[in-house]
A and B are shown apart, each in its own frame.
Chain A
Amino acid sequence: VVSAVRVAVDRDRCCASGQCVVLAPDAFEQSDDDGSAYPVRDEPPAVLWESVRDAAANCPTQAISIQQAISTQEATTMYATGEHDG
């Protein structure tokens, strides 16, 4: 079971097209300096996970990475790199 999602944007890769802000308006914002995207929260609430995954899958420069914390039955937690398209 995914217990947490950690999201990051590689600002060097980001081309600032602003698509993630459309797909996940509550999860991403764009810098006023150069338009590059950044997550509103590094660990967004569960209600935003689907839109964050959408934004990552459709990012034109694959600049968004997602890590998922998986809770196992023994209640240990580890971070696994999430689905990363491309």
Chain B
Amino acid sequence: VSEPDKAPPAYPFPRTCPFAAPPEYEQLRDKEPISRVTLQDGSTAWLLTRHPDIRTVLSSAAVSADRKQPGFPATVSNIAAFAQKGFLLSMDAPEHAMHRKLVTNEFTAHRIRFLRPRIQEIVDEHIDRILDEPSRQVDLVQALALPVPSLVICELLGVPYETRGVFQSHAEILLNRATSAEQRAASFGALRTFFGELVTRKAEEAGDDLLGRLIVKYREQGTFDHEVMTGFVMLLLLAGHETSANMISLGVAALLDDEAQLARFKADPGRTPQVVEELLRYASIVDYPTSRVAMEDIEVGDVVVRAGEGVIAPAAAANYDGTVFADPGRLDIDRNPRGHLAFGFGAHQCLGQNLARAELEIVYRTLFARIPGLRLVRPVDELAFKDASVYGLHRLDVAW
């Protein structure tokens, strides 16, 4: 048996643009669109780089999202730790739909419309505080990007906002690629204790918030399980703040970095929803977490992925497929980026996507309307980008 002369390349690939997808995706898409990569633990997995192949795998019933399954791509250390009890993202059918259907009514487009006035109020309060800053300079991550979605999701779930220090700091550790297996397990443990106590309190007196309503639903079904509920809450809170926070800071940085696009946006705020979609595509902040392991042999393109093999179906690779999005490396708020996979694809597609859209629309529109002179303090190539499962910025200094 002849071995290839080189080991498959190390994955994940670093971003260099710094907003755009890693350039390796495009090179592979042209040469070998379904290829092998080497992961941090030395194992290998399939890497897909074409939009249709990525859709096929993410919507296939023959793959598992269970991070504990042998062969699940170990894109970070201790990937199995993400198979927390109650974590929707790691469940398969039919269990997954059973739990997911208990909260989907909380995130309908209709319900989110009712949250908009409160989101607007929260955004305005934070921008008031920014404008009160005598130095006319702030770190936008701490002043706006992180607090707004944190406060919104806390109010929706019924989690005291004063406790944000706990979940924000552990989210940072859990998602950082440099985090060791032990640190990751310890952070999950700390969060389980924290949210476990919250669930205990909520179970004693279920309030009129998402957690209260979810507990009531589980009880009515006779399926209330403290451990499942704890994991469920953890995931909603982690996914509900860290993602939007990073999209806010990256989106603002990308717009401030592109004078022409920003001018077009400011001149026509009515196009905000389309700007949001293009920024979601352009930043594709959740990339390699959309991985799966094959439970049966499946055909993808001209390759047969064997049962037990891992498949990485990266959202950023799909969103930079030039056959679907022309000149994908260009931020273009005039394009219609429908079909982007920034929220994933298949039964696991982001259930909070319309909440995220509302937050991003309100933040981008209000920020540039109220602080039209906003500018970057240093150029984007000097910014501190995260090497994390959710891409983003550690810090974004802006002035006006």
Q: Please determine whether B59 and A16 come into contact, CB atoms closer than 8 angstroms.
A: no
Does residue A62 face the partner (Cβ distance < 8 Å to B)? yes
Q: Please determine whether B105 and A86 come into contact, CB atoms closer than 8 angstroms.
A: no
Does residue A74 face the partner (Cβ distance < 8 Å to B)? no
> Which among A18-26, A41-49, A76-84 touches the partner chain?
A18-26
Residue of B nearest to A34 (CB): B101
Q: Please determine whether B100 and A15 come into contact, CB atoms closer than 8 angstroms.
A: yes
Q: For A86, give its contact among B55, B100, B339, B357 (CB under 8 Å).
A: B55
Chain A, range 28-73, C-beta contacts under 8 Å to B: 29-36, 54, 57-58, 60-62
How many A residues have CB within 8 A of the partner chain? 24
Chain B, range 86-101, C-beta contacts under 8 Å to A: 97, 100-101
Given the complex, which residues of B lie within 8 Å of A30, measured CB to CB? 105, 108-110
Give me the interface of A with B, judged by CB distance under 8 Å.
15-19, 21-23, 25, 29-36, 54, 57-58, 60-62, 86
Enumerate 29 A-B pairs (CB-CB under 8 Å) in ascending A order.
Answer: A15-B104, A15-B351, A16-B104, A16-B107, A16-B108, A17-B349, A17-B350, A18-B353, A18-B354, A19-B343, A21-B354, A29-B110, A30-B109, A31-B105, A31-B108, A33-B105, A34-B102, A35-B101, A35-B105, A35-B107, A35-B108, A36-B101, A36-B104, A60-B344, A60-B345, A60-B349, A61-B59, A86-B56, A86-B59
Give me the interface of B with A, judged by CB distance under 8 Å.
55-56, 58-59, 97, 100-102, 104-110, 338-339, 343-351, 353-354, 357
> Known pairs A25-B109, A34-B104. 20 more at Cβ < 8 A?
A15-B97, A15-B349, A16-B101, A17-B349, A17-B350, A21-B108, A30-B110, A32-B105, A32-B108, A33-B105, A34-B101, A35-B107, A35-B108, A36-B101, A58-B339, A60-B346, A61-B346, A61-B347, A61-B349, A86-B55
